[in-house]
């Protein structure tokens, strides 16, 4: 139905011959299959409105409103991320989105709004393939571990003191498996996030750092990654249950602006 051009053997494919503003039900079913197969899909030259971006995201499920990130006033589902040398917000650490939520993201759909002439690529890692390449010894060591995720590690300073108790009640620390199971494919995937993981149950700080570093090295292996070079009105949609991603902060002093909608997921297991 579409022209699908894989970037690697296991992760990433560009999809051509589609207009995200007018996807019919049959095309949506095909996209769902492609998304499971390739984990992250890329689209070029999608000249659609912000409202159409939101509407496309809603075809896959409920969209979240991020309580700590900058938002569009009229369309609060859109998170606008503007990165420059003065405001380096681009997420240059490997992560899956909003793991501090009890029910973290199923998927994210990101649009390139203002893209620098060079730099600012996003790298995506196949978290299932990264897990598969661990030694049996390491798999046994991490399979049953549970990590504590806490939003305050990144966003705590943005919350006014008088609202901190209220926000903590709304968004308490939550526990997720270090190795989660993908609910649709059954694949085991590495589900760590240095930005939000505060601790790992049963491990001291030294052991927690060892485990996090080993799993992060597995994600950082170029052989489990694909890389996307952005253009204005390019889109990427990735499965946060199957991949981790990282932005290359190599475009200063230029500005990079992207807009994201995020699909609500379910509790990892």
Mean predicted lDDT score pLDDT of the chain: 95
Catalytic residue among 53, 97, 180, 239: 97
pLDDT of residue 14: 98
**For residue 155, what pLDDT band results from cuts at 50, 70 and 90?**
confident
What b-and-e string marks burial along 234-265, b requiring 16 or more CB atoms within 10 Å of the CB? bbbbbbbbbbbbbbebebbebbbbbbbbbbbb
Catalytic residue among 95, 111, 149, 241: 95
Edge to edge, the sheet with strand 225-228 lists 225-228, 122-126, 243-247
Q: What share of the chain is helix, strand, coil (3-state, %, to 5)?
A: 30, 30, 45
CATH superfamily of 3-84+103-119+227-239+253-264: Clavaminate synthase-like (3.60.130.10)
Check if the beta carbon of residue 243 is closer than 8 Å to that of residue 108: no
In terms of Cβ atoms closer than 10 Å to its own Cβ (0-12, 13-18, 19+), residue 71 is middle
158 is known as an active-site residue: no
Closest Cα partner for 38 from 9, 2, 61? 9
The answer to whether 66 is a known catalytic residue is: no
- C-alpha to C-alpha distance for 64 and 263, rounded to whole angstroms: 6
State how far the Cα of 246 lies from the Cα of 236, in Å rounded to an integer: 13
Q: What is the pLDDT of residue 154?
A: 84
Active-site annotation holder among 66, 101, 176, 245:
245
Report helix, strand or coil for 171.
Answer: coil
Rounded Cα gap, residues 143 and 120, in angstroms: 34
Integer Cα distance of 111 and 121 in angstroms: 13
For the stretch 10-38, pLDDT in tens is 999 999 999 999 999 999 999 999 999 99
121 is catalytic: no
pLDDT for position 219: 98
Residues shown for the chain: 269
pLDDT in tens, 97-147: 999 999 999 999 999 999 999 999 999 999 999 999 999 999 999 999 999
Dihedral-angle region of residue 190 (phi above 0 means left; psi in -120 to 50 means alpha; beta otherwise): beta
Catalytic residue chosen out of the listed positions 53, 149, 180, 260: 260
pLDDT digits (tens, 9 = 90+) for 53-99: 999 999 999 999 999 887 778 999 999 999 887 777 667 889 999 99
Q: Is 233 a catalytic residue?
A: no
């Amino acid at each position: 139905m579409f022209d699908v051009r894989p970037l690697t053997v296991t992760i990433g494919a560009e999809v051509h011959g589609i207009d995200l503003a007018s996807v019919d039900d049959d095309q949506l079913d095909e996209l769902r299959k492609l998304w499971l197969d390739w984990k992250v899909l890329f689209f070029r030259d999608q000249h659609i409105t912000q409202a159409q971006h939101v509407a496309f995201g809603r075809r896959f499920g409920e969209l979240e409103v991020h309580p700590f990130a900058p938002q569009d006033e009229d369309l609060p589902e859109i998170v606008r991320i503007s990165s420059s040398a003065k405001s380096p917000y681009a997420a240059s650490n490997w992560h899956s989105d909003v793991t501090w939520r009890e029910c973290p993201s199923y998927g994210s759909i990101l649009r390139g709004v203002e893209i620098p002439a060079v730099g600012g690529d996003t790298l995506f890692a196949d978290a299932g393939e990264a897990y598969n390449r661990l030694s049996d010894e390491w798999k046994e060591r991490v399979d049953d571990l549970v990590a504590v995720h806490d939003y305050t590690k990144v966003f705590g300073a943005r919350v006014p003191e008088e609202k901190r108790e209220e926000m903590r009640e709304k968004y308490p620390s939550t526990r997720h498996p270090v190795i989660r199971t993908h609910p649709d494919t059954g694949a085991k995937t590495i589900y760590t996030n240095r930005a939000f993981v505060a601790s790992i149950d049963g491990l001291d700080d030294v052991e927690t750092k060892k485990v996090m570093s080993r799993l992060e090295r597995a994600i950082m292996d170029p052989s489990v990654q694909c890389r996307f070079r952005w253009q204005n009105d390019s889109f990427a949609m990735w499965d946060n249950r199957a991949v981790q991603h990282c932005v290359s902060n190599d475009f200063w002093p230029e500005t990079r602006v992207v807009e994201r909608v995020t699909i609500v997921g379910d509790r990892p297991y």
